[in-house]
Structure 1
């Protein structure tokens, strides 16, 4: 591998060029390019915005629109426990990630075709089914990625890679949103189907690129694993650090749940939520661009402290936004809502960067996929339970819910304080 590649990798990670192995430098580029493609594709088929708008335009039943986010989130997390053993038994984790990305691409293309050929309940049923396939395929990529990253990139450089990919992807999505807002192309079913098809192509290209990753071709020794369910869930029983991590991550999941309640609160001021959609999307994307790489670099030094700081930031943001909402009855229009979304997204990016890298670095090679699957399965169940907050918002309003989120985020930060400094090993 040429010196320019090593130099580029050292720029990405902040490492000294002389200390970088040729294979690792090449692997760093593969990770960044593949992750950028999939993260961009993820944003282009976001069920909270893009697919919800699409099903509404296609006159799909409201019940099907309501299924989009639960299917996407639970489908991507809950199957991971069942997949973890297959990943552990595979000599190369990249194959699972690449297969998952390829299936996501095919499913995205199915959504695009269905939106062009169908309407009403038929379109809704096919698109939700394709989204379910996409979510399960994403679970295969998710459960295998931390292993692939740990086996190909050294500690203290992993966060920079994932952070850079997230920032570059956010810039790409911001550009698409800007083109929509400026009228470069009409926001209609056909152009949106084209965008979703491009997302599918990005998933397929990422699959091909990731297969070029230079990963050791070996299966770790899983010790005394007897293949039983008890052995599969044993880490959550025996590892107190894993239990604390899952508890902290569950509490900090409110940073992912909060944005819809901020949108609800902003709409309470009398402004149309549809009018505010553009500024909110741009604020969220701008926060990702600015924060992802910084949080990734901080996580390379201490993922524990990243979780603490991001949780504390989330607590402050939700308390302030909820308090303002109680006093003013809203957020003062689009500008106030955009500022709130921007701050909340920065906290969310910190939690996401910290929890991903902490789990990657805390787990041993033989059981990293299992730790990932256990954590994600439990968090998937917690996110499903998070639907209860919507009922609370209907009864008490979004402002009290956000104040409740502030308390939960503070609890998450406190729990994270008791985690080990896994980057020091």
Structure 2
């Protein structure tokens, strides 16, 4: 009882701005459990967010494949399997999820399966090598992604039933801030004490430690109090999936949101090109550490700000973050191409740009998560999440072909191209409906 009182007081101090606690767009029975549910979900998201940093396919897993001697071609499959594999199946998974009155058990099981996949991945890295190690790691990553897709659909509805509207952005912002600080500490450690190039044990233990983070998140999430929700609309997975695609045709506000979200992928797709340009200037491990620190610092400093703003207007967050991401590239590319900075400042141009991009990407993520949560309730929310994530997953899978243009226009040209797409997304976001009011 004392712990519950303490959580109530802390919640009121950190989140509430008025004497009367907000309890909007959730069941009446869930109102008294909001503070405890808020902090349990923040803690669970922090743990999985840190785990995502430690198992990043662009860094940790890519290096791991090199250490175990896997064919270099396998590296190209890491990001598509991790990102698209967790999004594309959601259109079909949603049919089963929407038939469950409580979705918390699905998130818990999904989290535990992700932990099992990481443990198996660590064992594969430690016990095998070469082609076999690469195939086993990619197989474990596939299982990880499928479990991740279940969690992604389930958590949106759980948050929608347990956290009031105008407080969901703050929850995501707080979780992103804390996980960003922990990621910053990890990046600083990697800068100061980088592992040996062939230290397989380090990476195996890193995967085991990450698995324990998902186990801890499952334990925390199991304590979330969730009221039963809507279960209507079940049926054949294929038939239901096809009918949900019809949302893009029939639901104009949702269609506009999906197009906007697709164009604002520039904030995610631009990141590797800043790293590539930075490597052209300085290829040492200290530069890699600087990028890791910049990303962690950006998340920790900006997420709470974006979260609070998203609770007022997630549409405006998408607009401002999209403009920041799209206007950054022309400035950075211009300074790089024309070489107007002194050499000692030029090398820091890209970590600083990566920091600004991290702020923008954090805004896009918090804004679009809050927006889709507040657009609708019940199973319609589940359908929105499943359809939008599946479409974005398909686009991410096909985005690799866009990278073929790099040979023609270079990384700087790619940044300008993505910047143009992001600018169109920012302009389109101005036409989105306000969903917080």
The answer to whether the superposition gives a TM-score over 0.5 is yes
Question: What is aligned with 2:362?
Answer: 349
Q: Is the 8 A contact 2:88 2:389 kept in 1?
A: yes
- Specify the alignment match of 2:27 in structure 1: none
Which structure 2 residues correspond to residues 81-160 of structure 1 after superposition, within 5 A? Answer: 81-160=91-170
CA contact (8 A) 2:180 2:297 kept: yes
Measure, in 2, the Cα distance between the counterparts of 1:336 and 1:184. 23
Residue 251 of structure 2 corresponds to 239
Residues 1:257 and 2:269 aligned together: yes
Q: Is the 8 A contact 2:98 2:234 kept in 1?
A: no
How do residues 366-405 of structure 1 correspond to structure 2 at under 5 angstroms? 366-405=379-418
Which residue, 52, 65, 70 being the options, matches 2:62? Answer: 52
Identify which of 4, 10, 20 aligns with 2:12.
Answer: 10
Task: Specify whether residues 224 and 102 from structure 1 end up closer, same or farther in structure 2 by C-alpha distance, changes over 3 A only.
Answer: closer
5+ residue gaps in structure 2?
23-30
In structure 1, the residue matched to 2:377 is: 364
Distance 1:119 1:221 in 2: 48
Mean Cα deviation higher: 101-110 or 389-398: 389-398
- Deviation of residue 18 (structure 1)? 4.8
Question: Relative to structure 1, is the Cα distance of residues 273 and 378 closer, same or farther in structure 2, using a 3 angstrom cutoff?
Answer: farther
SS in 1 for 2:436: helix
Q: 2:318 aligns with which of 307, 332, 349?
A: 307
| Residues 198-209 of structure 1 mapped to structure 2, 5 A cutoff | 198-209=209-220
* Residue correspondence of structure 1 range 180-329 to structure 2 within 5 A: 180-183=190-193, 188-222=199-233, 228-269=240-281, 271-272=282-283, 274-328=285-339
Let me know the Cα RMSD of the aligned residues: 2.1
Give the 3-state SS of the residue equivalent to 2:58 in structure 1. helix
Q: Match for 2:82 among 61, 72, 75?
A: 72
* Conserved? CA contact 2:191–2:285, under 8 Å: no
| Alpha-carbon distance in structure 2 between the residues aligned to 1:206 and 1:66 | 29
User: In terms of mean alpha carbon deviation, does 300-309 or 365-374 score higher?
Assistant: 365-374
Distance in structure 1 (CA, Å) of the matches to 2:194 and 2:59 = 19
d(CA) in 2 for partners of 1:73, 1:363: 25
Distance 1:84 1:417, change over 3 A: same
Q: Aligned to 2:426, what secondary structure does the other structure show?
A: helix
Determine the C-alpha separation between the residues in 2 that align with 1:223 and 1:304: 31
- Give the whole-Å Cα distance in 1 for the aligned partners of 2:290 and 2:347: 7
Deviations 1:31-79 (A, max 9, x none): 1111111111111100000010111111110011111111111101100
- Contact 2:96–2:234 under 8 Å retained in 1: no
Paired with 2:190 and 2:296, the residues of 1 have a C-alpha distance of 14
- Contact 1:279/1:334 (8 A) holds in 2: no
2:234 touches 2:240 (CA, 8 Å); kept in 1?
A: no
Summarize deviations over 1:108-155 as a string: whole Å, max 9, x none.
111111111111111111111101110111011001111000000100
Higher deviation after alignment, 43-52 or 161-170: 161-170
Secondary structure in structure 1 of the residue aligned to 2:181:
helix
Q: TM-score, normalised by structure 2?
A: 0.92
Q: What 5-or-longer segments of structure 1 have no aligned partner?
A: none
The CA distance in 1 between the partners of 2:340 and 2:130, in whole Å, is: 37
**Partners in 2 of 1:205 and 1:145 — Cα distance?**
16
Of 391, 408, 412, the match for 2:421: 408
Runs of 4+ in 1 over 6 A off after TM superposition: 223-226
- Which residue matches 1:19? 21
